[in-house]
Structure 1
Amino acid sequence: MAGAAEPVPWPPQIDRYLEHLRVERRLAEASLRAYRDAFARLHAAMTADGLALAGVQPHHARRWMARLHAQGLGPRSLAQMLSAWRGLFRWLGHEGEVALNPVDGLRAPKAAKPLPKALAVEQAVALAEHRAEDARDARLEARDRCIVELLYGGGLRVSELTGLDVTASGSARGWIDAAAAEAQVLGKGSKRRGVPVGRAALEALQAWLAVRGELARPGEPALFVGPRGARLSPSQLRAMLAARARAAGLPTHVHPHMLRHSFASHLLQSSGDLRAVQELLGHASITTTQVYTRLDFQHLAKAYDAAHPRAKRR
C-alpha cells in the first residue's frame, strides 16, 4: 500500500540482550518471558513508525507509552515495560549502538493506592467478644481475646504486639504498664511510643496474665506465647486471627493490619482529630495518616446514600 511504513525486522540486538540476561544475569525463564513481551511491544511500536532501534527518540517512547496506557495497560505493567526498555537501551549504549537512551527520565503514571480495608464497628466488636463453642483451650482463648483487644483498641502493628514483654525490666522491645493504662511499643525505625490501653483491653490482659504461666516456658519474657511456650510469631498470630474471624462469622478475611486500619478509621470518625490519630499510629508523616480521611469520607458517603431522599440515582 502506498505510504505504508516498511516493516521493521526483529532487531538481532534484542536477541543478544536477552541472551545476556539469560547467561550473565541468570534471569529465570518467567522473567525472560516478561522481557520478551516488553520487547514485542517495542518492536510493534517501532514497526508502526518505521523506526530502527537507533532511531528511537524520547518523544517516540513517550507517545508509545501514552498509547499503550490508553489501550488499557495499567501503571504497574507500564512501569515493568519501561524498565525493560530502559535496560535494553542502556546496554545498547554500552555496546556503542545507540547515542542516547530514549527511555531515561520516562516514568509510568502512578498507580492509584487502594484504600486500606477496615471492619465495621460491630464486626470489630464481634471479633473481640467472640467465644468459641467447642472445647478449645481456655488459656489460648484468653490470649486471643487480649490480642484482638490490643490490636483493635490500640492500633498496634504485628511486630509491636509480638514484641511485647511481660515486664519493662530488661525489655528492649515493649511492655504494658497496666497501672498507667499505657503500652510502650517499639515501632518502625526503632522509635518508641506510648499507646493508651482501654478498659476492655486491660480486663482481657488481666485474664490472660492469670493463665499465661501455665503455657509460657520458664524464663520466657514474651507477653504472648504460642502452644509450645515460646514467643508468638507473626505468622501464628495471623493464622489465629483469620481462624477467629471465620468462627465469629465475619464475611471477610481478617488480618492484623486490618484491625489497625479499623482502629484508625473508627477513631477518626468519632474524633475528627487527624493529628492525634497520627501520633497514636506512630506515623512519621501526616500524609501517611491522611488515607484515613478518605475512609472517613466513604463512611459519610454511604450514610448519605442510604438516608438522603435525593442521594440515589434513578
Structure 2
Amino acid sequence: MRLDLQHRGLIRDRALFDTAIDSKLRGCALVRLRIGDVSAGGVSRSRAMVVQSKTGRPVQFEISETTRESAARWLRIRGGAASDFLFPRRIDSGRPLSTRQYARLVGDWGGAIGLNVEDYGTHSMRRTKASLIYRQTGNLRAVQILLGHTKIESTARYLGIDVEDALHIAEQTDI
C-alpha cells in the first residue's frame, strides 16, 4: 500500500497510512490528531502521546523516520498551526476527516492493490504493527501497553493468540 500511495503521488493519504500504522490508534483517535501531536515548531517528533477517544486514557507511540518524512511532506503542502487537525476535511478544514471517510480511503487503498476490501479495514491498520511486534518478540505485555489495553486478555483476544501460538513460543525457548 505504501508503495502504491507513493507511486500515485497521494501525499496526504501516504502520511495518513504511515501515521495509522505507527500510532496503532483506533480510527476515531487517528483522525483527531493535531499537527502539534506530531510536529513542534516545524520539527517532526519521534514520539507522541495522545488521549484515546474511546477509553480516555493516554497512549504513547513512536513516529518512525518513514512516517516523519511523509508527515513533513504533507505538512509542507497542508500548512497550519499546531492546534489544527493533522488530517482535516477537504471542505471544512476546521473539522477532522470523518472516520467514515478514513474507512473509505483504507478501502480504496486496499482495492487499488487487489486486496479484498471486506477483509481489510481501519482496524487492520491498528492491528498491523501490533501483530508484527508480537510475532517478533512474543511480548504480549509490550503490545498491551502500545495498544492502551487495560487487560492482557483483551490484547490476546485482539491479536487472535491461541494455544498454538503459546506452544510455538515455548518450543523456541531452550533452557
Taking structure 2 as the reference length, the TM-score comes to 0.78
Q: Distance in 1 between matches of 2:162 and 2:4?
A: 26
Task: Give the corresponding residue for 2:26.
Answer: 157
Q: How does 1:35-114 map to 2 (within 5 A)?
A: none
Q: Which residue of 153, 176, 197 corresponds with 2:38?
A: 176
Q: Residues 242 and 295 (structure 1 numbering): CA distance in 2 closer, same or farther, change over 3 Å? A: farther
1:130 aligns with 2:4: yes
- SS at 2:61 equivalent: strand
- SS at 1:185 equivalent: strand
1:221 aligns with 2:90: no
Q: Is the 8 A contact 2:34 2:84 kept in 1?
A: yes
Q: Residues 245 and 189 (structure 1 numbering): CA distance in 2 closer, same or farther, change over 3 Å? A: same
Deviations, residues 271-292 of structure 1 (Å, cap 9, x unaligned): 1111110000000111111122
Q: Which residue of 294, 302, 308 corresponds with 2:161?
A: 294
Q: Distance in 2 between matches of 1:237 and 1:285?
A: 28
Q: Which amino acid aligns with 1:290?
A: A
Give ranges in structure 1 of 5+ residues lacking alignment.
1-126, 168-174, 302-314
Which of structures 1 and 2 has the larger relative contact order (alpha carbons within 8 angstroms, sep 6+)? Answer: 2
Q: Distance in 2 between matches of 1:265 and 1:133?
A: 26
Task: Give the corresponding residue for 1:19.
Answer: none
Task: Give the corresponding residue for 2:64.
Answer: 198
* CA RMSD after TM alignment: 2.7
Q: Distance in 2 between matches of 1:153 and 1:146?
A: 11
CA displacement at 1:249 relative to structure 2: 1.8
CA displacement at 1:297 relative to structure 2: 4.6
- SS at 1:207 equivalent: helix
- SS at 2:59 equivalent: strand
1:146 aligns with 2:15: yes
- SS at 1:221 equivalent: coil
1:260 aligns with 2:126: yes
Q: Distance in 2 between matches of 1:287 and 1:239?
A: 31
CA displacement at 1:242 relative to structure 2: 0.4
Q: Residues 296 and 258 (structure 1 numbering): CA distance in 2 closer, same or farther, change over 3 Å? A: farther
- SS at 2:144 equivalent: helix
Deviations, residues 115-149 of structure 1 (Å, cap 9, x unaligned): xxxxxxxxxxxx12213777xxx5xx111111111
Taking structure 1 as the reference length, the TM-score comes to 0.46
- SS at 1:264 equivalent: helix
Q: Which amino acid aligns with 1:294?
A: I
Q: Residues 231 and 293 (structure 1 numbering): CA distance in 2 closer, same or farther, change over 3 Å? A: closer
**Structure 1 runs of 4+ with >4 Å offset:** 177-180, 295-298
Q: Is the 8 A contact 2:20 2:30 kept in 1?
A: yes
- SS at 2:161 equivalent: helix
Q: How does 1:234-245 map to 2 (within 5 A)?
A: 234-245=99-110
Q: Is the 8 A contact 1:220 1:231 kept in 2?
A: no
Q: Residues 264 and 220 (structure 1 numbering): CA distance in 2 closer, same or farther, change over 3 Å? A: closer
Task: Give the corresponding residue for 1:114.
Answer: none
Q: Distance in 2 between matches of 1:183 and 1:219?
A: 13
CA displacement at 1:264 relative to structure 2: 1.6
Task: Give the corresponding residue for 2:135.
Answer: 269
Task: Give the corresponding residue for 2:149.
Answer: 283
| Number of positions where the alignment pairs a residue of Structure 1 with one of Structure 2 | 159
CA displacement at 1:153 relative to structure 2: 2.3
- SS at 1:194 equivalent: strand
Q: Is the 8 A contact 2:59 2:147 kept in 1?
A: no
